[in-house]
Structure 1
Amino acid sequence: MSKAKLKKHLQELNEEQLREQIIELYEKFAPVKTYFNFAFNPREDKLIEDARVKISKEYFPTTKRRAKLRRTTATKLIKHFQSLEMSPDKVADIMLYAIEVAQTYTSTYTLRNDNFFVGMFRQYEEALQWISGNNLMHIFKPRLERIVEEAWEQDWFNRTAFQDMAP
């Protein structure tokens, strides 16, 4: 159905029918429920804290299992926050936090997988673009610089790429 047809259909419904449609969507589709829950009760700080815990567990599990080091966990959370239209500074915070946790891990454990470092650079690049695009550089510049310094201190093979991108 096109947007025009949808508008026409909604015009034909009375207020009660519209309410019923919205409630049905809310009950049937999890993304609609998530959207409305966030729109009417945006507990951003709680969501951010939960995201930080999930990201940390990827590198430092609380059980005896091995660290999974999945960058996709953070990426999915970031995309979810962006779809909810969360405050850009909160999204930027999570973007940088994911890299910082990864750097904490690599400062303790040696990794030989170049793909990990390439992924971290890509994540840094995306964070930098997000921060620049939302005029947040004045807030996050020290953290961005610290990430570059840490890449040099840990002798990451792509540290010059980080340096070249640095703000």
Structure 2
Amino acid sequence: MSKRALKAYTEQLDPSALREQIHDLYERFPEVKTYYDFIFNPKEDKLVADAMARISEEYFPKRRRRARARRSVAHKFLKHFKTLGVDPSLQADLMAFNLEIGLRFEKVRNCPDAFYKSMYRSYREWGAHLIHSGIYREYQEKYAHIASEVARANWPNKDSFQDFLEQL
């Protein structure tokens, strides 16, 4: 169904039928419930804190022996936050947290090349988010600090971080 057809359909419904459909969607689809729960009671700080705890658990687990260190976990949260419309600065904080956790993790573990590539991809996405949201100036110092920490840790792709920082 196209957007135009949906608009035509909803315009022909009377308000009570439309309300019934929204109630039905809310009960049937978890995504709709999540959306409305967020709209009426955002609690963005709590969402970000929960996401940070899950990302931290991914790299420094408390229950299992080995860390999974999957970038996809943080990426999934960020995608979800964009869908919900979470404040861009909170999204930027989560992106920075993911990189900081990666830096801490790399200090205690030998990491494959894929880890470094993944962290660089996260760094670029963070920079693009900061520019797109118009909040780069607020995070400029932190952004440069991450690049200097990568250089200090002597990551194999440290030059890529520095080059991207200079491009911004």
Range that drifts further, 62-71 or 80-89: 62-71
2-side partners of 1:148 and 1:49: how far apart?
Answer: 24
1:97-150 alpha-carbon deviations (Å, 9 max, x no partner): 101101011122232x11110110011000000001111112111211111111
Which residue in the other structure is 1:28 paired with? 28
Which residue in the other structure is 2:51 paired with? 51
Which residue in the other structure is 2:143 paired with? 144
TM-score, structure 2 as length reference: 0.95
Unaligned runs of 5+ in 1: none
2-side partners of 1:78 and 1:18: how far apart?
Answer: 31
Which residue in the other structure is 1:120 paired with? 119
| Runs of 4+ in structure 1 over 6 Å off | none
Which residue in the other structure is 2:159 paired with? 160
Number of residue-to-residue matches in the alignment: 166
Q: Structure 1: which amino acid aligns with 2:28?
A: K
2-side partners of 1:47 and 1:20: how far apart?
Answer: 29
SS at match of 1:63: coil
Shift of residue 26 of structure 1?
0.6
2-side partners of 1:65 and 1:44: how far apart?
Answer: 31
Question: Among the aligned pairs, what percent are the same residue?
Answer: 39
Q: Structure 2: which amino acid aligns with 1:29?
A: F
TM-score, structure 1 as length reference: 0.96
1-side partners of 2:110 and 2:153: how far apart?
Answer: 10
Shift of residue 65 of structure 1?
2.1
For 1:42-121, what aligned pairs fall within 5 Å after superposition? 42-111=42-111, 113-121=112-120
Shift of residue 5 of structure 1?
1.7
Q: Structure 2: which amino acid aligns with 1:121?
A: Y
SS at match of 1:104: helix
Which residue in the other structure is 1:131 paired with? 130
Unaligned runs of 5+ in 2: none
